[in-house]
């Protein structure tokens, strides 16, 4: 049997190419994700651990920053070779436009550059800053097109602009703390001069050679007061590595889901290939049975064949995976700004072994049912003519219908239960689970309806293209089981894409809807948030006063937030000088009264009269424990500036005009950011589109695999129908018409698959959305442009898949094909 | 209508393995005649038919159908010509399994974008006794019925010539004789020209003329053959 298996493998090598490609892609994606995971892990390890390089003992600040005395105390401990304080303070850097560089409303950082080179927490390209010089992080430099020798500007605590020459560039990688923010490296004293801060974040210690880290850590600990954490360098590095792992795992988990999806799709393709191949080989199998092969031997030979394909596909898949692992960081960093560090690809044994195993196991599993069916071949079949069109017995149809209905019913039941679950996260999971079961039901039922659907979709083909069109439709539906499995892979890919596009599109619209309905003003001017703490800064009252001087602006409302001690409770209170801008607040708020938050238990304040419980959310400022009048807040928390200004333009004033006023006034207040509903919407749009692009890219593999599936089914059908094609040619079908016929057949399969997938996506996306967004009424949008694009994609992919089989079919000589038995 | 083959040569392969399937065959098939091509296996009778019908390319010589040389036509031009001017009946029927009997019958005309003459269509279908079978797909028809559908398909466009390749090869003897009887009637009563390849002397006896082939050459030409005469001639060829 070994020899037979080998012979049939080599004989049918061409027919197996497409199957092998499906294995390669399915395994490639999964192995690629795993390899990428290892690589990202190594990269994160490296960047995270970089801060603890050469460090023997580290002192980490607790609630309060570390002081210079503490640094001196540590320096005085025996066996300490050198101790260095590291500080980080917020320091806004100005971009080329003259406005501060912000990320998510936060300004940038300044970090100290250690005098001792070996104790610097970063690698430096250039030299340490001398007077009038500074370091800049690589990301900001790239974004702002800055290089060594050029000038940068920062804002000191008084708001004055200070300039420095860039002396070197620093790669901070993905250190979560700095990610996306501008980081300027300066000597410690210079940071103190600029920001007025002198507290240290951590003290790093290099020990004298031969000192035990644990022992030294113990001595450092006893030299310091409580409230600080002392760790050995080794411990610190382990901690950082653990932190890195959690970051890396997030990415790999989501990617693995897509890997599994593509593997499932590949299994469909493999299953179909073996089903068709073995159906075509009935004579051969029967002949083997005639000359004495047992059922076990037939089964074994088929499985062996599939194992060989799985192994070859798996091996190439692992190679492809290595290639994919190069591409994934680019995709993620572009779409999500995920900041996966650059690192040479790490290929460990595990992903290789997992890839090979997946290839073999998936292929064998997919081939098992067709192989089992092959064992039922009776020896006599070798002597008889084999019917070309498979007929399905009524009984198996009924069984199929029952299975499909059962799966559908269970899926609907789960979905409905999910819809009734209160917790939105649980509800989403249950609804998605129900969706998967319903989809399985649809897949099971698809051979029953796919024929009719094909006929329906193919109606125009028959009308327009005449007999070749009609024959194409008839061919596409003559073997519903085969068509169903072929299109299933496309259904999955396109269905998921449709669902994601609808989900993300609806989330986007819902968010926009929330924005416009809850956004009482045209502009929201926020104070730049502190880069280090994320706390909102202050907007001088003069700013609002200056705006109020312009009659083009109808309302200028200042919002102040402050922590205040009321009746022994620390409350986060808000005040707004134009309460009428917030429609949810009840009227009549006076001094001595408070509107409490309706999402929290009543704080029961004896000293304040509770006017009402209401939604205390102020856009841009968040939810408060309570809202009081401006003067009441001054009584409770002392006088202070606002942190947010809401501006409503007078009617008839164009957005350009009002924006121009805000920008002009803002020039004198660099630490303010003007947001408009339009800005927020377009930001949202960019984010959602990035995500959509990523999902489309990941699901693209699935579509690619189904492309191979269609090509495979079609070329096997072409072989099967050699005589028919020759007859048609003899009766007057031109080569072009024959090619067109196969193209039409592929197109039909592609369209039907895409349609079923899209319909499923359209049904389930709103259900998932309703489960996921419990608090708001989701705005459901149907992304018709995307869906149309998906249909076009499926159509183009299936036509592409048909090109080679169609060419091969049309090339054959008529007479030879007729004689072929 | 005239179909004449002149100096037809067909060589398969090249060099040492070259096989001369036809070696300078010249023959004319007359209008309204039923001609049988006979010969032992490997004599070249099927090749002659394929070349004369424009299904296969030739190595040398010409095939003139109404003064048009088929060997000079492009594949597409030949294909278009086959739709309406040449009909085929095959040994294994070769009906499209996905189409009904009626769709199969209409296929060549529809490919040509032409409408059938309804009276002619009724005549053909009635003569072949297919009226109550038109909605069936081939798998629902018996072998004899399938071959009659194939005949109707060949006749409906009123082709210049019908080529029948062992049309009774897959039929039992009674249905086979019925079919041959029908072919002869369509020649006698409807004026159809038919060229039939067969190795069965009894089938050949239905024809007006038998052309005998051996080793790629015409070795005999018998008018008004009987089965015995054909059988006798075949014996002398040592088959």
Q: What is the CATH number of the domain that holds B146?
A: 3.40.50.300
Domain ranges, residue A7: 1-55+242-386
Q: In this structure, is residue B42 part of a structural domain?
A: yes
Q: In this structure, is residue B206 part of a structural domain?
A: yes
Q: How many domains does chain A have?
A: 4
Q: Residue A387: what pLDDT?
A: 46
From the list A471, A735, A815, the residue facing B50 with the nearest CB is: A815
Q: In this structure, is residue B14 part of a structural domain?
A: no
Domain endpoint, select from A653, A670, A687: A670
B176 touches chain A (CB under 8 A): no
Please give the residue of chain A at the shortest CA–CA distance from B12.
Answer: A816
**Chain A neighbors of B98, CB-CB under 8 A:** 389, 471, 474-475, 478
Instruction: Judge if A742 and A800 occupy the same domain.
Output: yes
- Say yes or no to pLDDT of A392 above 70: no
Instruction: Judge if A465 and A343 occupy the same domain.
Output: no
Q: Three-class SS of residue A18?
A: helix
**Chain A neighbors of B56, CB-CB under 8 A:** 813-815
Q: Residue B148: what pLDDT?
A: 92
Q: Is A727's CB within 8 Å of B90's CB? A: yes
| Residue partners of A683: CB distance under 8 A and separation at least 6 | none
Q: How far apart are CA A768 and CA A428, in angstroms?
A: 6
Please give the residue of chain A at the shortest CA–CA distance from B93.
Answer: A727
Instruction: Judge if A683 and A744 occupy the same domain.
Output: yes
- Say yes or no to pLDDT of B234 above 90: no
Q: In this structure, is residue B63 part of a structural domain?
A: no
**Taking Cα atoms as reference points, which of A480, A473, A403 lies closest to residue A442?**
A403
Query: Which helix (H) or strand (E) segment is B76 a member of?
Result: helix B75-85
- Say yes or no to pLDDT of A179 above 70: no
From the list A467, A474, A478, the residue facing B111 with the nearest CB is: A467
Q: Is B79's CB within 8 Å of A734's CB? A: yes
From the list A468, A471, A814, the residue facing B55 with the nearest CB is: A814
- Say yes or no to pLDDT of B33 above 90: yes
Q: Is B88's CB within 8 Å of A730's CB? A: yes
Q: In this structure, is residue A24 part of a structural domain?
A: yes
Higher local confidence (pLDDT), A69 or A244 = A69
Please give the residue of chain A at the shortest CA–CA distance from B159.
Answer: A731
| Residue partners of A40: CB distance under 8 A and separation at least 6 | A248, A251, A252, A329, A340, A341, A343
A586: left (phi over 0), alpha (psi -120 to 50) or beta: beta
**Chain A neighbors of B88, CB-CB under 8 A:** 730-731
Q: How far apart are CA A509 and CA A301, in angstroms?
A: 56
Segment 9-38 of chain B within 8 Å of chain A by CB: none
Measured in angstroms, the CA of B149 and the nearest CA of chain A are apart by 14
Tens digit of pLDDT for each residue in B3-18? 999 999 999 888 888 8
Mean pLDDT, rounded, for A68-78: 87
Q: How far apart are CA A644 and CA A574, in angstroms?
A: 11
Instruction: With cut-offs at 50, 70 and 90, classify the pLDDT of residue A388.
Output: very low
Domain ranges, residue B214: 31-47+73-236
Q: Is A735's CB within 8 Å of B75's CB? A: yes
Alpha helices in A337-423 (DSSP H): 349-375, 394-420
Q: Is A730's CB within 8 Å of B82's CB? A: yes
Residue to substitute from B84, B107, B162, interface A, most A β-carbons within 10 A: B107
| Residue partners of B237: CB distance under 8 A and separation at least 6 | B39, B40, B212, B214, B219
Instruction: With cut-offs at 50, 70 and 90, classify the pLDDT of residue A751.
Output: very high
Q: Residue A134: what pLDDT?
A: 92
Instruction: Judge if A583 and A704 occupy the same domain.
Output: no
Instruction: Judge if A20 and A60 occupy the same domain.
Output: no
B67 touches chain A (CB under 8 A): no
A722 touches chain B (CB under 8 A): no
Q: In this structure, is residue B4 part of a structural domain?
A: no
Domain endpoint, select from A386, A406, A430: A386
Q: How far apart are CA A274 and CA A262, in angstroms?
A: 19
Measured in angstroms, the CA of B163 and the nearest CA of chain A are apart by 11
In this structure, of A205-214, A271-280, A763-772, the range with the lowest mean pLDDT score is A271-280
B114 touches chain A (CB under 8 A): no
Which residues lie across from B34 on neighbouring strands? Answer: B194
Q: In this structure, is residue B54 part of a structural domain?
A: no
Instruction: Judge if A62 and A211 occupy the same domain.
Output: yes
Q: Is B111's CB within 8 Å of A736's CB? A: no
**Chain B neighbors of A467, CB-CB under 8 A:** 103, 107, 110-111
Whole-number percent of chain A with pLDDT over 90 = 13
DSSP per position, A671-715: TEEEEEHHHHHHHHHHHHHHHHHHHHHHHHHHHHHHHHHHHHHHH
Measured in angstroms, the CA of B41 and the nearest CA of chain A are apart by 14
Indicate the angle between helix axes A722-731 and B75-85, nearest 10 degrees.
Answer: 80
Instruction: Judge if A223 and A254 occupy the same domain.
Output: no
Q: How many domains does chain B have?
A: 1
Please give the residue of chain A at the shortest CA–CA distance from B56.
Answer: A815
Q: Residue A592: what pLDDT?
A: 85
Burial class (CB in 10 A: 0-12, 13-18, 19+), A113: buried
Instruction: Judge if A452 and A471 occupy the same domain.
Output: yes
Instruction: With cut-offs at 50, 70 and 90, classify the pLDDT of residue A819.
Output: low
Whole-number percent of chain A with pLDDT over 70 = 94
B94 touches chain A (CB under 8 A): yes
The per-residue pLDDT of chain A, averaged, comes to: 84
Instruction: Judge if A545 and A656 occupy the same domain.
Output: yes
Domain endpoint, select from A241, A265, A281: A241
A373 touches chain B (CB under 8 A): no
Q: In this structure, is residue A664 part of a structural domain?
A: yes
Instruction: Judge if A84 and A211 occupy the same domain.
Output: yes
Instruction: Judge if A277 and A198 occupy the same domain.
Output: no
Q: Residue A239: what pLDDT?
A: 85
Complex ipTM: 0.88
Instruction: With cut-offs at 50, 70 and 90, classify the pLDDT of residue B187.
Output: very high
In this structure, of A130-139, A271-280, A552-561, B44-53, the range with the lowest mean pLDDT score is A271-280
Tens digit of pLDDT for each residue in A100-126? 887 766 788 888 888 888 888 888 888
Q: In this structure, is residue B138 part of a structural domain?
A: yes
Higher local confidence (pLDDT), A462 or B181 = B181
Residue to substitute from A454, A732, A734, interface B, most B β-carbons within 10 A: A732
**Chain B neighbors of A735, CB-CB under 8 A:** 75-76, 79
Tens digit of pLDDT for each residue in A480-520? 888 888 888 889 889 989 998 898 888 888 887 877 776 77
Q: In this structure, is residue B23 part of a structural domain?
A: no
Q: In this structure, is residue A186 part of a structural domain?
A: yes
DSSP A647: E
Overall pTM surpassing 0.90 (yes/no)? no
B118 touches chain A (CB under 8 A): no
**Taking Cα atoms as reference points, which of A97, A110, A317 lies closest to residue A199?**
A110
Instruction: Judge if A187 and A285 occupy the same domain.
Output: no
């Amino acid at each position: 049997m070994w020899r037979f298996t080998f012979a049939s493998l080599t004989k049918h090598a061409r027919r197996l190419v497409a199957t092998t490609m499906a294995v390669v892609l399915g395994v490639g994606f999964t192995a690629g994700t795993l390899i990428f995971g290892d690589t990202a892990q190594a990269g994160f390890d490296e960047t995270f651990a970089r801060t603890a390089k050469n460090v023997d003992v580290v002192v980490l600040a607790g609630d309060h920053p570390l002081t210079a005395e503490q640094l001196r105390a540590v320096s005085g401990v025996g066996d300490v070779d050198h101790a260095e304080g590291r500080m980080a303070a917020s320091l806004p850097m100005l971009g080329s436009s003259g406005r501060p560089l912000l990320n998510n409303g936060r300004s940038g950082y300044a970090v100290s550059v250690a005098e001792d080179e070996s104790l610097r927490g970063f690698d430096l390209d250039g030299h340490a800053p001398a007077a009038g010089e500074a370091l800049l992080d690589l990301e900001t430099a790239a974004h702002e097109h800055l290089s060594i020798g050029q000038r940068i500007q920062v804002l000191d605590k008084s708001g004055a602009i200070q300039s420095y020459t860039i002396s070197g560039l620093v790669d901070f990688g993905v250190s979560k703390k700095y990610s996306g923010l501008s980081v300027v490296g300066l000597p410690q004293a210079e940071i103190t001069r600029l920001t007025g801060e002198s507290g240290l974040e951590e003290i790093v210690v290099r020990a004298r050679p031969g000192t035990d880290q644990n022992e030294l850590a113990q001595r450092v600990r006893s030299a310091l007061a409580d409230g600080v954490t002392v760790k050995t360098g080794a411990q610190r590095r382990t901690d950082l590595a653990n932190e890195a792992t959690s970051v890396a795992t997030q990415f790999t988990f989501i990617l693995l889901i897509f890997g599994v999806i593509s593997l499932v799709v590949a299994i469909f393709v493999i299953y179909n290939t073996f089903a068709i191949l073995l159906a075509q080989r009935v004579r051969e199998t029967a002949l083997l049975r005639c000359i004495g092969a047992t059922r076990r031997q037939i089964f074994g030979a088929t499985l062996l064949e599939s194992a060989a394909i799985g192994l070859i596909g798996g091996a190439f898949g692992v190679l492809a995976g290595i290639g994919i692992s190069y591409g994934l960081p680019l995709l993620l960093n572009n779409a999500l700004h995920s900041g996966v560090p650059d690192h040479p690809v790490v290929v460990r044994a595990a992903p290789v072994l997992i890839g090979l195993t997946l290839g073999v196991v998936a292929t064998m599993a997919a081939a098992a049912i067709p192989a089992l069916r092959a064992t039922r071949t009776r020896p006599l079949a070798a002597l008889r003519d084999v019917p070309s069109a498979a007929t399905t017995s009524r009984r198996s149809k009924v069984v199929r219908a029952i299975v499909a209905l059962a799966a559908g019913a269970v899926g609907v039941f789960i979905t409905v239960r999910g819809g009734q679950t209160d917790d939105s996260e649980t509800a989403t999971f249950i609804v998605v689970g129900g969706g998967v079961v319903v989809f399985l039901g649809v897949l099971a039922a698809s051979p029953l309806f796919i024929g009719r659907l094909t006929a329906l979709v193919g109606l125009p083909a028959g009308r327009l293209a005449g007999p070749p069109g009609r024959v194409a439709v008839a061919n596409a539906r003559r073997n519903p089981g085969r068509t169903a499995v072929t299109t299933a892979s496309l259904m999955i890919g396109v269905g998921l894409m449709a669902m994601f596009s609808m989900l993300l599109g609806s989330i986007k619209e819902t968010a926009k809807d929330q924005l416009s309905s809850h956004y009482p003003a045209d502009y929201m001017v926020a104070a730049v948030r502190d880069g280090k703490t994320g706390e909102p800064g202050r907007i001088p009252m003069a700013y609002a006063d200056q705006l109020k001087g312009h009659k083009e602006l109808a309302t200028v409302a200042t919002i102040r937030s402050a922590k205040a001690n009321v009746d022994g409770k620390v409350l986060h209170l808000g005040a707004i000088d134009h309460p009428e801008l917030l429609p949810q607040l009840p009227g009549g708020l006076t001094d001595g009264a408070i509107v409490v938050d309706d999402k929290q238990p009543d704080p029961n304040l004896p000293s304040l009269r509770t006017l009402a419980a209401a939604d205390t959310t102020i856009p841009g400022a968040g939810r408060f424990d309570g809202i009081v009048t401006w003067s009441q807040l001054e009584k409770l928390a002392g006088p202070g500036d606002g942190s947010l200004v809401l501006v409503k333009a007078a009617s008839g004033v164009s957005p350009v005009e009002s924006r121009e006023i805000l920008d002009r006034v803002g020039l004198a207040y660099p630490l303010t950011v003007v947001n408009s509903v339009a800005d927020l919407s377009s930001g949202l749009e960019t984010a959602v589109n990035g995500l959509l692009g990523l999902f489309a890219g990941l699901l693209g593999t699935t579509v690619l695999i189904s492309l191979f599936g269609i090509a495979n089914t079609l070329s096997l059908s072409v072989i099967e129908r050699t005589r028919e094609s020759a007859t048609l040619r003899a009766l007057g079908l031109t080569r072009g018409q024959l090619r067109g016929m196969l193209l039409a057949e592929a197109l039909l399969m592609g369209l039907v698959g895409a349609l079923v997938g899209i319909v499923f996506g359209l049904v389930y996306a709103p259900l998932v959305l309703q489960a996921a967004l419990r608090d708001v009424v989701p705005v459901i949008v149907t992304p018709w442009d995307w869906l149309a694009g998906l249909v076009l994609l499926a159509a183009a992919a299936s036509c592409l898949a048909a090109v080679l089989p169609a060419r091969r079919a049309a090339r054959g000589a008529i007479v030879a094909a007729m004689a072929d038995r | 209508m005239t179909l004449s083959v002149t100096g037809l040569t067909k060589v398969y392969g090249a060099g040492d393995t070259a096989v001369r399937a036809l070696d300078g065959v010249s023959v004319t098939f007359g209008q309204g005649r039923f001609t049988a091509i006979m010969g032992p296996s490997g004599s070249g009778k099927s090749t002659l038919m394929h070349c004369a019908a424009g299904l296969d390319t030739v190595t040398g010589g010409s095939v003139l159908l109404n003064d048009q040389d088929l060997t000079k036509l492009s594949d597409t031009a030949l294909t278009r010509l086959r739709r309406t001017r040449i009909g085929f009946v095959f040994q294994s029927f070769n009906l499209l399994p996905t189409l009904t009997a009626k769709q199969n019958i209409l296929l060549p005309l529809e490919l040509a974008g032409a409408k059938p003459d309804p009276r002619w269509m009724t005549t053909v279908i009635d003569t072949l006794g297919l009226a109550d079978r038109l909605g069936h797909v081939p798998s629902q028809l018996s072998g004899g019925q399938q071959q009659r559908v194939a005949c109707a398909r060949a006749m409906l466009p009123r082709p210049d010539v019908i080529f029948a390749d062992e049309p009774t090869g897959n039929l039992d003897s009674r249905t086979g004789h019925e079919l041959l009887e029908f072919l002869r009637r369509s020649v006698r009563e409807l004026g159809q020209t038919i060229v039939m390849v067969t190795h069965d002397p009894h089938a050949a006896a239905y024809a007006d003329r038998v052309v005998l082939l051996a080793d790629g050459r015409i070795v005999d030409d018998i008018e008004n053959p009987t089965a015995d005469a054909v059988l006798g001639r075949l014996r002398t060829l040592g088959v």
